[in-house]
């Protein structure tokens, strides 16, 4: 089973590269990655991350559908910018998820780093939701989360995954730049 983490990491890089280029194939590639990482995180006792991968599996299908048919007249979804009020609302939801998971994981499991893992999970759900809806704000959020993930994965003995998230950090900066180009619109919904 030593091949699972490296394969998942390669699929993760491929998926995010495809995301930066707004290629819908990113979603099924990402689905393969998250299914593999569910087992990796279970073995590492990062239970919030394991649950996150399970939710990501569902969000992969949602994102794929949104990118292909979520725009007006069932056309591909354009990149948009969320109003500040919506950003604050979504980040508040991420905080609530983080607090709930933190309490559950710290009290009822033998999880490694239960609070940090829970916080990264809560805000990653927001990032993934924004990604599925092509919100420009997903990229700066991923930039911050990925930097913290590097440290967490290194500290629990997942060096390949830590390296993956270091690559994700660079890809988040690239994605932010790519999606910031003139085709971006203001979100109304």
* φ and ψ of 141, to 5 deg: -65, -45
Does residue 176 sit within a domain?
yes
Does residue 189 sit within a domain?
no
User: What sign does the dihedral 56-11-167-133 (CA atoms) show?
Assistant: negative
pLDDT of amino acid 2: 76
Does residue 179 sit within a domain?
yes
pLDDT of amino acid 89: 98
- pTM here is 0.88
* φ and ψ of 13, to 5 deg: -65, -45
Query: Could you read off the pLDDT tens digit of each residue along the chain, which spans 189 residues?
Result: 578 989 999 999 999 999 999 999 999 999 999 999 999 999 989 898 899 999 999 999 999 999 988 767 777 888 999 999 999 999 999 999 999 999 999 999 999 999 999 999 999 999 999 999 999 999 999 999 999 999 999 999 999 899 999 999 999 999 999 999 876 555 555
Alpha-carbon span 50 to 56, nearest angstrom: 10
User: What is the full DSSP assignment across 44-76?
Assistant: TT-HHHHHHHHHHHHHHHHHHHHHHH-SGGGPP
Contact 39, 79 (CB under 8 A): no
Alpha helices in the chain (DSSP H): 4-20, 26-43, 47-69, 84-108, 114-132, 138-155, 159-179
* φ and ψ of 50, to 5 deg: -60, -45
Does residue 188 sit within a domain?
no
Please give the residue range of the domain that contains residue 88.
Answer: 4-71+78-183
How many domains would you assign to the chain? 1
Does residue 31 sit within a domain?
yes
pLDDT of amino acid 20: 94
């Amino acid at each position: 089973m030593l091949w699972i983490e490296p394969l998942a990491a390669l699929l993760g890089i491929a998926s995010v590269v495809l995301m930066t280029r707004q290629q819908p194939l990113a979603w099924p590639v990402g689905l393969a990655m998250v299914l593999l990482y569910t087992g990796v995180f279970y073995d590492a006792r990062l239970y919030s991350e394991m649950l996150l991968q399970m939710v990501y599996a569902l969000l992969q299908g949602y994102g794929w559908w949104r990118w292909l048919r979520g725009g007006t007249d069932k056309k591909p979804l354009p990149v948009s910018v969320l109003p500040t009020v919506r950003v604050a609302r979504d980040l508040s939801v991420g905080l609530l998820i983080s607090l709930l998971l933190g309490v559950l994981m710290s009290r009822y499991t033998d999880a490694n780093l239960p609070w940090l893992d829970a916080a990264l999970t809560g805000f990653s759900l927001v990032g993934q939701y924004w990604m599925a809806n092509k919100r420009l704000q997903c990229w700066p959020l991923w930039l911050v989360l990925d930097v913290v993930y590097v440290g967490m994965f290194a500290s629990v003995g997942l060096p390949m995954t830590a390296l993956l998230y270091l690559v994700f950090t660079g890809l988040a900066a690239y994605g932010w730049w790519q999606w910031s180009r003139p085709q971006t619109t203001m979100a109304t919904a």
